[in-house]
Amino acid sequence: MRDPTVMLAAEESAGLKLMRALAGTGCRVAGVLATPEGPAWTLARTLGHRVWPAQMVRDPAFADTMRREGVDALLNVHSLHIMCGPVLAAPPLGAFNLHPGPLPEYAGLDPPSWALYHGESHHGVTLHAMTGRVDDGGIVERADFAIGPEDTALTLYARCVTLGLPMVLRLIATLATGARSPTLQPMDPARRRYFGRRVPEEGRLSWERPAAAIVNFVRACDYHPFASPWGHPKTRLDGCEMAIAKARLSAEATDAPPGMVVALDETGARVACGDALVLVSHLALDGRLMRPAAVLRAGQVLS
């Protein structure tokens, strides 16, 4: 039994947490690929790791660096650079990716947001072996969990990390036993869906849609107090653009035209959608949340 030497491609909160977790193990970190001067880069330097710019994974010559460093396994944790074939093939125990979504159904970018947007009842996190295709390869481990009515993209993302990091640590423990590779479950290509950088509906609310769809879109964009990769969904009032930051179902039917502000109180604005009212509790203006009563008046129509 020998603790493996790993190379990390790490970004975001998940990458930071993995680096901190590995600091308490016998696992040797040969180095970290990260965005120069970003949080993962800075933490890696603080922990005494060698660092390389994240895009080096696209360079076939980096495979020689990995062999020279004696890297047994490459671990990609929320880095979005597509790795070239020689780099993926260099580590003898394999290259693995922690993906914040259930695979193969939610391949690509921003899976927590897409899951909420689609009104899914469950989400998941997947650790898989990497191939030359994005978010493809045999599954090491996948954990699914229920989505609650209060969940936002931020809370789903956080749960993916909380459940996913122990998977990575278990993988490292497996590799340390001398196993050539963990047992992999094949992905069903027929179930694969890929989501790219495009924000649905061009980031704009269509008030004609059902209330549930409106609320799901708002939750899908909600990383408050952190910036959302999708921004907040936008709407217009008298030619001025504003964003909806927080909304929930009110379960009140309406025959008011879609987009109309039917009522306002301290809890928010009741806005008509295609089939019912939604309660908009917060708008986003200039990066800050504010109550609708400060901006809207009953009878106005959002479009």
Do the Cβ atoms of 283 and 295 come closer than 8 Å? Answer: yes
Please identify, using beta-carbon distances, which residue of 71 and 244 lies nearer to another protein.
244
Task: State the CB neighbour count (10 A cutoff) for residue 107.
Answer: 22
Segment 246 to 275, residues that bind another protein, using CB under 8 A: 246
| C-alpha 79 chain-centroid distance | 11
Site map (CB under 8 A) of another protein, residues 194-233, x = contact: -----------------------------xxxx-------
Tell the smallest beta-carbon distance from residue 211 to another protein (Å). Answer: 19
| 17: contact with another protein by CB under 8 A | yes
16 binds another protein (CB under 8 A): yes
Binding flag, residue 158, another protein (CB under 8 A): yes
Spell out the long-range contacts of 283-289 with Cβ–Cβ below 8 A and sequence spacing 24 or more.
283/242, 283/243, 283/244, 283/245, 284/232, 284/242, 284/243, 284/244, 284/245, 285/242, 285/243, 289/224, 289/245, 289/246
Dihedral (C-alpha) 149, 155, 157, 159: value to the nearest 10 degrees? -90
Smallest distance, another protein to C-beta of residue 299, A: 26
State how far the Cα of 182 lies from the Cα of 185, in Å rounded to an integer.
10
Q: Is 65 in the site for another protein (CB under 8 A)?
A: no
Considering only 4, 12, 271, 277, the residue that binds another protein (CB under 8 A) is 12
Beta bridge partners of 129: 96
Residue closer to another protein (CB basis): 155 or 181: 155
**Which residues contribute to the site for another protein (CB under 8 A)?**
12-14, 16-17, 20, 39, 42-43, 152, 154-155, 157-158, 161-162, 223-226, 245-246, 281-282, 288-289
